[in-house]
Amino acid sequence: MKTLRDYTLNVSLGAPVAIAAIESRLTNGWYRNKEKEKYGDEFISHYRPGILSMYCFSCTEFGPRQAATLWLYETGGGKLFMSDIFAEMDTKLSSDECNCIAEEFYQHCIVPAAEIVSMSVD
């Protein structure tokens, strides 16, 4: 059984600052999906009461990458947790595809953002 890659971001300046930094570094068809974020509060209250906020990022199909949505959860204590990657179409992503999308988001969006704000990754 394959393990899905996840990341925990340690954000000393707070989630909104980190999210803004990540958003400013989005490339290759990545964008912040504020439309989907609107449903986050309802989801949190019903299914994830320990989550403070949810931030959604989506990517368009690009090369071998399928269009997908990725969520960052603010869990308090200056932590953002990256998890839950879904295909945009009615297809299912394999573990390898999810890991590639997570790694791409990390390398191309999070690492550049970490250079401008105080952020580390576990």
- Concatenated DSSP letters for 53-104? EEEEEEE--BTTBPPEEEEEEEEETTEEEEEEEEESSS----HHHHHHHHHH
Q: What share of the chain in percent tops pLDDT 70?
A: 95
Supply the pLDDT for residue 2: 56
Which position has the higher pLDDT, 122 or 33?
33
The amino acid present at 33, given as its one-letter code, is N
Kindly tell me if the per-residue pLDDT of 46 is higher than 90.
Answer: no
pTM, full prediction: 0.89
Look up residue 13 and give its two tokens. 């300046």
Does residue 9 sit in helix, strand or coil? strand
Q: What is the pLDDT of residues 74-111, one digit of tens each?
A: 988 889 998 789 898 878 899 899 999 999 999 999 99
The residue-averaged pLDDT of 3-32 equals 89
